[in-house]
Amino acid sequence: MTILLLLIPVTIALGAVGLIVFLWTLKSGQYEDLQGAAERVLDDENDDRPPE
């Protein structure tokens, strides 16, 4: 039972850290251009294969 006195604050602290990191990524613009990242995957312009 005494382990709950340790685990509950640790769980709340880890949840708060996760929330702070998520809000920081939102503020820094990590999720601004999701469509551009999806299109860059399909772009063959920077292909390193030699021409045929």
Closest Cα partner for 25 from 35, 17, 13?
Answer: 17
Residue-level pLDDT at 10: 97
Asked if residue 41 lies in contact with residue 33, where contact means CB atoms within 8 angstroms, the answer is no
Residue-level pLDDT at 32: 87
pTM: 0.62
Residue-level pLDDT at 20: 98
In the predicted structure, residue 7 carries a pLDDT above the cut 90? yes
Q: What is the mean pLDDT of residues 3-11?
A: 96
Output b/e per residue, 31-50; b: 16+ Cβ within 10 A: eeeeeeeeeeeeeeeeeeee
